[in-house]
Structure 1
Amino acid sequence: MNSPGTQAHPLDEIRILDLFAGPGGLDVAAHFLGFQSIGIEWDRNACETRYAAGLPTIHADVSVMRETRFDEIPKSVDVLAGGPPCQSFSVAGKGAGRRALEEVKTFIHRLVDGEDEKKIDEDLHALTADPRTALVLEPLRWLLKAIDTEGRDPYKVIVLEQVPAVLPLWEVYAKLLSGGEGRLQGVKYEADFWELKTEQFGVPQTRTRAVLVARLPGLGAIEPPRASHHTFDVHRGKRRSVQADMLPDDSDGPRPRDRWLSMGKALDAASDTKGSPVDVSRFRTGGETRFFVVSNYGSGGDPKNRGRRLSSEPAFTVTGKISRNKVYKSQEAYEAGDYDRFTIPESGVLQTFPHNFPWSGNDQAQQVGNAVPPRLGMHVLSTALRGDRPSDEELADAGSWPAVPQDVTDGLRAIGCGDQSQCPPESHKVTGRRRKSAP
């Protein structure tokens, strides 16, 4: 496996194009599976993290890149992946996309039928004031662009993920990709889509994602990723005592090797790694890590009803507001108002990023929350590209990130940003510093 950024040229042998790449969740997954990838990302802060991590990146708007700079994408790319921004579809957002869901389905059909794209954009803008809603169409537009461009082949594999509310759109995608009609020009895919729970794949948090995988015929039947862990019951009964239930009880539960991964276990492993920026010693009592988290969000429609998760359980969904969650060492600390916060490296570990991943730039909590959990990404990509789940060795290696020399970071920044003239408008007014990664 090549270390990030160490190949002869950063764009050689790139196979995976990651749209809306963020700080690199899918790219990190691809790295540990041995695949080269390149990401397109408009946020400079996320780009700074990617450069520091040695991940090839183009700092650009995905739509502009498709329209005017498509020829810059390496021709070796045969996998299209991405998670369009989910805020307008998310339960946590204002829901412009959810309200327009049925209408958005028609726009997918209109694109494939060959209607004028400017007219489609105008109608979509009139439908919703949130421009991010239109971005869910970008993967289809990138596929159609590849089909329409001389010298390009259709992508062999397509992997998309989003919040569960988008599953009906993935269903439309799957049907159209399987049909090969209109602008698809007879190109037919085998496609399927699922709701996946992250804790079933070794991610120490509860988070549900809508995933679509499509492949050209001849690459084998599409099967959903095989879960490696059990589901966590988010609707369990209320506890009578936080103290009494601080540690898990395996007596009547699933076997420990199949159990979901807890926050405490994930953070302990990262904290015990030599040179790790993660240090949970502040939560240890009698040699054991114990804490509970009070969510920043209300539950049951009551903003004052804050949910709780124990260190012996998976985390709540990690969002860009994770740094607002309050972490208490004990019930006594809770009653005294004595709380802590998760650090950025700790938040990253709960997303299954390596403990020493070099988070950089500003808005790091938002970067963490927006990312695809790399461990889920490993399961999805491995299933899509190899027909099986990641090996135990690959999953074990995914806990640490290789050191990236400064000259590699600088070189990737030069490729991604160049003279800044092609970067998104105003983006370089944001400033940030690179944080040194742990050895």
Structure 2
Amino acid sequence: MIPDYYSIAQVADILSISKETLRRWDSNGTLVPQRHPDNNYRVYHRSQIERFEQAQVLFNSKWDDEASIEAMRKYKLVELFAGAGGLALGMEKAGFESVLLNEFDKHACNTLRNNRPKWNVVEGDITNVDFTEYKDKIDILSGGFPCQAFSYAGKKLGFEDTRGTLFFEFARAVKETNPKVIIAENVRGLLKHENGKTLESIINVIDEIGYELVDPRVLKAVFYQVPQKRERLFLIGIRKDLAPFVKFNWPSPFTRIMTMRDALKKGDLFDTDVPKSAGQTYPQRKAEILSNVPQGGYWRDLPDDLQREYMKKSYFLGGGKTGMARRLSWDEPSLTLTCAPAQKQTERCHPEETRPLTVREYARIQTFPDDWMFSGPLTAQYKQIGNAVPVNLAYAVGRSLINLLNDIEKLDRSSVPLKRECKKNEQMAFVV
């Protein structure tokens, strides 16, 4: 159900602006909150924000319709750089069958094996993996390849010139398997990496190996039933003999923004409160200082003497450093999780208790189910969760991919000579 009233924090998330911007809009009359009729809190009525495109997309969401999409058959998936399974789990939930998952980290591989004993987990360096046995046998290849700098001197950065990078291995796997669709995800920073040259090279290679790229898009997890302000860049490619006949549609957002309360308490996301689990702790003095930070606050909310003690030399430097001494709020999504919840630069303190988030709290914010167990020492578990694609974000994208593959499945190849048609339209440069 879409609510009638929204808090300042919720509107900031919906419109993808800061709360400070909303305060300025309040001062200059652009958008002025009103008093809630029940509790007198300053809020915005739905009618006040409906004029914004971001709000219209949310209020007119087709989330429920997309949730009813079912695969016409079990589509087969190969995943590279699989990590602890966030992307694979979301894709499985959408209707995909994983036939191979490659991952280098031993603890992440154990996590995958322990939770899904039937999954074919190939542990080790991707450069040693031969994918040719899956040639023309899979529907989709996915993976979040690490972003590495390329050397541009005197090169056009085609497929061969990316050799030695993990993206080259991703492209090699595509060439060896010839899937109908490819999906790659990465950090938002890839858009501007090396002034955009890295992404340009990646796009050129995807074209060279025979895939038409959908316009890349940064998806904000907070819009896809994930209680976290995490952003991921998604690249979707459709094989060129198929691309002229189908269209990929990005997933619709969920009807509201999930918060820390949704993550850790019984409600719409989970059937119970978050289970007890292991977690890191703060040194005594750090805990004493952080106990003075209010919900949603950070180091600037401390008394000046504690600011100076905690920040040390950083106290005199510019920049907001809003992640330092940061306490999360029950009524807002979490900030993006890192690989270490007690790291000073990117603090993620529990909303009420003065401690870092536990492993299971971390996992819930990434929308892993409570029965998904992580292997390895505590630091390895945090790292696996912090690096993962949120399960519900992967699920939303996965449903859109299922819809795309259903459309491909419907193509009558006997009556539509795909390759000849593509050549006629001059849209097929090369098909693997």
Structures share fold, TM-score greater than 0.5: yes
The match for 2:142 among 63, 81, 86 is 81
The match for 1:223 among 245, 249, 252 is 249
**Per the alignment, do residues 176 and 355 of structure 1 end up closer, same or farther by CA in structure 2, a change over 3 Å counting?**
same
Residues 170 and 212 in structure 1, CA contact (< 8 A), matched pair in contact too: no
Matched residue type, 1:194? R
Please give the alpha-carbon distance, in whole angstroms, between the structure 1 residues aligned to 2:396 and 2:158. Answer: 31
Tell me the CA shift for residue 311 of structure 1: 1.3
Please give the alpha-carbon distance, in whole angstroms, between the structure 1 residues aligned to 2:251 and 2:153. Answer: 26
Equivalent position of 2:385 in the other structure: 368
Tell me the CA shift for residue 293 of structure 1: 7.4
Q: Deviations over 1:20-43 (max 9, x none)?
A: 000101110122112111310111
Matched residue type, 1:64? N
Tell me the CA shift for residue 277 of structure 1: 2.6
Report whether the alignment pairs 1:316 with 2:335: yes
Residues 157 and 385 in structure 1, CA contact (< 8 A), matched pair in contact too: no
Matched residue type, 1:215? I
**Per the alignment, do residues 342 and 206 of structure 1 end up closer, same or farther by CA in structure 2, a change over 3 Å counting?**
same
Matched residue type, 2:396? H
The match for 1:46 among 108, 119, 124 is 108
Q: Secondary structure at the match of 2:228?
A: coil
**Superposition TM-score, scaled by structure 1 size:** 0.57
Tell me the CA shift for residue 191 of structure 1: 2.7
Tell me the CA shift for residue 378 of structure 1: 1.0
Equivalent position of 2:92 in the other structure: 31
**Per the alignment, do residues 364 and 320 of structure 1 end up closer, same or farther by CA in structure 2, a change over 3 Å counting?**
same
Q: Deviations over 1:135-192 (max 9, x none)?
A: 2333222223x1xxxxx5x2111100101121344454345534xx4xx3xx342532
**Per the alignment, do residues 171 and 386 of structure 1 end up closer, same or farther by CA in structure 2, a change over 3 Å counting?**
farther
**Per the alignment, do residues 305 and 105 of structure 1 end up closer, same or farther by CA in structure 2, a change over 3 Å counting?**
farther
Equivalent position of 1:138 in the other structure: 169
Equivalent position of 2:373 in the other structure: 358
Equivalent position of 2:122 in the other structure: 58
Matched residue type, 2:264? L
**Per the alignment, do residues 211 and 379 of structure 1 end up closer, same or farther by CA in structure 2, a change over 3 Å counting?**
same
**Per the alignment, do residues 323 and 358 of structure 1 end up closer, same or farther by CA in structure 2, a change over 3 Å counting?**
farther
Please give the alpha-carbon distance, in whole angstroms, between the structure 1 residues aligned to 2:77 and 2:275. Answer: 30
Q: Secondary structure at the match of 1:192?
A: coil
Equivalent residue runs for 1:5-404 within 5 Å: 15-37=76-98, 38-54=100-116, 55-65=119-129, 69-71=130-132, 73=134, 76-86=137-147, 97=148, 100=149, 103=151, 109-112=156-159, 114=160, 120-121=163-164, 134-144=165-175, 146=176, 154-167=178-191, 168=196, 169-178=198-207, 181=208, 184=209, 187-216=210-239, 217-218=242-243, 220-228=246-254, 258-269=255-266, 273=271, 277-278=275-276, 300=319, 302=321, 305-324=324-343, 325=347, 327=349, 330=352, 339-362=354-377, 363-387=380-404
The structure whose Rg is larger is 2
**Per the alignment, do residues 35 and 272 of structure 1 end up closer, same or farther by CA in structure 2, a change over 3 Å counting?**
closer
Tell me the CA shift for residue 367 of structure 1: 0.6
Q: Deviations over 1:106-149 (max 9, x none)?
A: 87x5443x56x7xx53xxxxxxxxxxxx22333222223x1xxx
Q: Deviations over 1:343-387 (max 9, x none)?
A: 111100101111221112231000101111111111112212314
Unaligned runs of 5+ in 1: 1-12, 87-96, 122-133, 147-151, 229-257, 280-289, 331-337, 389-439
Residues 158 and 204 in structure 2, CA contact (< 8 A), matched pair in contact too: no
Residues 213 and 384 in structure 1, CA contact (< 8 A), matched pair in contact too: no
Residues 192 and 222 in structure 1, CA contact (< 8 A), matched pair in contact too: no
Please give the alpha-carbon distance, in whole angstroms, between the structure 2 residues aligned to 1:163 and 1:104. Answer: 21
Q: Secondary structure at the match of 1:143?
A: helix
Calculate the aligned-residue CA RMSD, in Å.
Answer: 3.5
Q: Secondary structure at the match of 2:232?
A: strand
Please give the alpha-carbon distance, in whole angstroms, between the structure 1 residues aligned to 2:385 and 2:215. Answer: 28
Please give the alpha-carbon distance, in whole angstroms, between the structure 2 residues aligned to 1:64 and 1:342. Answer: 37
Tell me the CA shift for residue 294 of structure 1: 5.6
Identity %: 26
**Per the alignment, do residues 162 and 277 of structure 1 end up closer, same or farther by CA in structure 2, a change over 3 Å counting?**
same
Please give the alpha-carbon distance, in whole angstroms, between the structure 1 residues aligned to 2:398 and 2:327. Answer: 32
Residues 104 and 123 in structure 2, CA contact (< 8 A), matched pair in contact too: yes
Q: Secondary structure at the match of 1:327?
A: coil
Unaligned runs of 5+ in 2: 1-73, 278-293, 300-309, 406-432
Matched residue type, 1:50? L
**Per the alignment, do residues 29 and 106 of structure 1 end up closer, same or farther by CA in structure 2, a change over 3 Å counting?**
farther
Tell me the CA shift for residue 47 of structure 1: 0.8
Tell me the CA shift for residue 19 of structure 1: 0.5
Please give the alpha-carbon distance, in whole angstroms, between the structure 1 residues aligned to 2:172 and 2:135. Answer: 17
Residues 328 and 349 in structure 2, CA contact (< 8 A), matched pair in contact too: no
Residues 41 and 61 in structure 1, CA contact (< 8 A), matched pair in contact too: yes
Matched residue type, 1:57? V
Please give the alpha-carbon distance, in whole angstroms, between the structure 1 residues aligned to 2:248 and 2:270. Answer: 39
